């Protein structure tokens, strides 16, 4: 049998080795815990940074949207004001009056055409007469399609006299008109009116 002291020494040596191994494991565990804490802190910071950037981007987008809405509202208000100005000017100014300067009438023609979505394709009507034609066409467009041309002819005849004609175009034939009375006008919806006063017989 081995002496008791020898066994005790061996047990003591193994115990000491186990203690060292346990301490190493404990130290490794602590280091691992520290690494995990660092990783968690890093992840939290990344999430916070991402949230901050996302929030900043959302705020910037919101500001851009508000600016666009404000600009659109201002533009809509300006368009409304333009329509009111055109309506007021054409209401108080007699387009047939010689007192209406040509440059003023031309400006009103451009404004009214833009406001009404009219396009002058061709014609030799003076600006003042075009203004009246625009007003007559605007009223005629409120009627059924089959009555619009007749309403335009009657409206122009009431203002300028003579035999006025209105043809729904486009047409592929020539018309015989009195000089200074011819107008080809495109309106919204693809409709075209050819307006003129016929030659006196």
SS3 state at 180: coil
| Domain termination residue (choose one: 58, 92, 126) | 92
Q: Is residue 112 part of a domain?
A: no
SS3 state at 6: helix
- Mean pLDDT of all residues in the chain? 76
Asked whether residue 121 falls in the same domain as residue 86, the answer is no
CATH number of the domain where residue 127 is located: 3.30.740.10
Predicted confidence (pLDDT) per residue in 56-94, tens digit: 777 777 777 677 667 656 655 555 555 555 555 555 545
Q: Is residue 42 part of a domain?
A: yes
- What's the pTM? 0.53
Give me the domain span that covers residue 155: 117-197
Q: Is residue 172 part of a domain?
A: yes
Structural domain tally of the chain?
A: 2
């Amino acid at each position: 049998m081995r002496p008791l002291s020898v066994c005790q020494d061996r047990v003591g040596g193994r115990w000491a080795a186990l203690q060292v191994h346990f301490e190493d494991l404990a130290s490794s565990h602590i280091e691992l815990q520290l690494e995990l804490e660092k990783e968690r802190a890093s992840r939290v910071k990344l999430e916070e940074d991402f949230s901050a950037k996302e929030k900043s981007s959302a705020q910037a987008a919101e500001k851009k949207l508000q600016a666009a809405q404000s600009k659109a509202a201002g533009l809509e208000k300006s368009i409304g004001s333009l329509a009111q100005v055109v309506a007021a000017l054409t209401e108080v100014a007699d387009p047939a009056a010689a007192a209406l300067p040509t440059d003023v009438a031309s400006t009103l023609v451009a404004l009214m055409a833009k406001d009404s979505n009219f396009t002058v394709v061709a014609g030799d009507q003076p600006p003042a007469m075009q203004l009246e034609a625009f007003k007559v066409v605007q009223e005629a467009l409120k009627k059924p399609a089959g009555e619009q041309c007749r309403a335009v002819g009657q409206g122009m005849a009431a203002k300028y006299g003579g035999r006025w004609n209105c043809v729904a175009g486009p047409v592929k034939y020539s018309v015989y008109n009195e000089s200074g009375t011819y107008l080809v006008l495109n309106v919204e919806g693809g409709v075209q009116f050819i307006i003129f006063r016929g030659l006196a017989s």
